[in-house]
Chains A and B, each alone.
Chain A
């Protein structure tokens, strides 16, 4: 595995892949590419954990 992200010869591929990735995220409603990722950057998706009460069926790992 070789990191070629900064290699000028790969810039065309990098841009193509990035476009394709962002297109998929946008088309499938990923909150990370909406409102600068606000959904994932604010509680309850970020920040200290809020206690949810007992959830005893499975030992959490």
Chain B
């Protein structure tokens, strides 16, 4: 069974003195609005981390000025993790505020079914009188699509969905002779018009919750678009890749393209923040920005329990949240649902295993704040159903502390990301998907 374990010692962090939280229970005068910005497949890459982590050179290459602004106005979390590094189970856990393995048939990706007995924070807000709306991906793939957000009943997408294929659409517009800035603005306006309609529908005096779930950071993207559209030169990535990624041209280009889609996401975030400001809603809205797991189709990324797959960017700002702070506590995206409910003054369902971040958000302090937050838990079951010849999952669970990551591989005899037959046949039937990095890694193995 020993081979089924993986234990790693992460960089030793200096143990900050645990401080007792001074909780303030001041009553909210008003229920806040929520703007939830959640990018598909966006991991822990934001320029806000760059100055804190000079030894992480990729953080110095990514460009997210608008996302950084959310962190400057509030809190940047440095140790935020998903429950599962796979879209559907990550979102099942996030929406229901509990470990993905408690979400029954919603705890896998392909073949997932929403479990109506689970709490879902958007529906709880709606029941409490909130005006709710969403654009693009909330809970998918799964059936019914976006069930924990009303299964499309609260969708605002009439202005268009082209944003979700940003590099494809911008490249096509370039081909038609449209300058990039103009193409970008057209796609931004289309995207933001969905939000305008949502705000326009808001009944007077009602608080709102809007979920923006673009999929442009998810594959596919146009090869070379990171450089062509955004000026990310793959040559600059040389020598800056983590040790588990082959430092070869095709992988560097793939990362530059990924950073391009992150830059596009950041531009969308900037547009929505500007809308909040121009509508006079910035001071009454809690803004949360994050992603559902690490980079897709890269070794150690999506579908892996290493930090590259499970750690994500998380920044939150809003009313009564002192600005310009960084929090080093281990937090889970399952903590978001109880945070939102508590901020709205609503009860937190007992089934939620996540813990509200609100006491930490309202603190004046940075660093490690809550001595009880000593570990987070992650795991995975089925992603692609045909990744292995016998249609079996690759079950893993892990505990992550400040210093260590222990992974249990329950079935170490299986292939973690899929049988090699998928690669040999050149099919996409594995948990990575077929892409330039996987093919490049195999050619350079």
Q: Give me the interface of A with B, judged by CB distance under 8 Å.
A: 1-6, 10, 13-14, 17-18, 20-21, 24-25, 28-32, 37, 40-41, 44-50, 52-53, 55-61
A14 & B102 in contact (Cβ 8 Å cutoff): no
Q: A5-B7, A18-B406, A25-B397 are in contact. Are A50 and B111 (CB under 8 A)?
A: yes
Contact of B101 among A2, A31, A52 (CB under 8 A): A31
Knowing A29-B102, A30-B99, A58-B146, the reply to whether A45 touches B393 (Cβ < 8 A) is yes
The residue in chain A whose Cβ has the minimal distance to the Cβ of B374 is A20
Of B306, B386, B404, the most chain A CB neighbours within 10 A belong to B404
Contact B397 A60 (CB under 8 A): no
A30 touches B140 (CB 8 A): no
11 A-B pairs in the complex with CB atoms less than 8 angstroms apart: A5-B406, A14-B5, A17-B399, A24-B399, A30-B397, A31-B101, A32-B101, A46-B392, A48-B385, A48-B386, A48-B391
B141 touches A60 (CB 8 A): yes
Q: Are B382's CB and A45's CB within 8 A?
A: yes
Q: Which residues of B contact A (CB under 8 A)?
A: 2, 5-10, 40, 87, 98-99, 101-102, 105, 107-108, 110-111, 113, 136-137, 140-146, 151-152, 155, 161, 164, 215, 218-219, 243, 306-307, 353, 375, 377, 379, 381-382, 385-386, 391-393, 395, 397-399, 401, 404, 406, 408, 410
Question: Total A-B pairs in contact (CB under 8 Å)?
Answer: 136
Chain B residues positioned under 8 Å from A2 (CB to CB): 8-9
Assess the B406–A55 pair: CB atoms within 8 A. no
Contacts of A41 in B (CB 8 A): 392-393
CB distance from B407 to the nearest CB of A (A): 9
Query: Closest CB-CB distance, B97 to chain A, in whole Å?
Result: 12
Task: Name the one of B99, B141, B381 contacting A28, with C-beta atoms under 8 angstroms.
Answer: B99
Contacts of B386 in A (CB 8 A): 48-49
A58→B136 contact, CB < 8 A: yes
Select which of A28, A44, A52 is within 8 A of B102 by beta carbon. Answer: A28
- CA gap between A21 and B395 in the complex, in Å: 14
| In the complex, chain A residues whose CB is within 8 Å of the CB of B404 | 13, 17
Decide if the interface of chain B is mainly helix, strand, loop or mixed. Answer: loop
Contact (A4, B8) CB under 8 Å given A40-B393, A45-B105? yes
Bound-state Cα–Cα, A22 to B162, Å: 44
CB of B8 within 8 A of CB of A40, answer no
A13: B residues at CB distance < 8 A: 7, 404
CA distance A55 to B244 in the complex (A): 37
Residues of B within 8 Å of A48, CB to CB, are: 385-386, 391
How far is it, in angstroms, between the C-alpha of A28 and the C-alpha of B99 when the chains are bound?
A: 8
Tell whether A40 pairs with B382 under 8 Å between CB atoms, given A1-B10, A17-B401, A20-B375.
yes
Query: Nearest 6 CB-CB pairs, A to B?
Result: A5-B7, A17-B406, A21-B399, A30-B101, A60-B141, A57-B152
Q: How far is the CA of A2 from the CA of B11 in the complex (A)?
A: 9
Tell me the minimal C-beta distance from B51 to chain A in angstroms: 23
- Bound together, the chains give a CA A46 to CA B385 distance in angstroms of 7
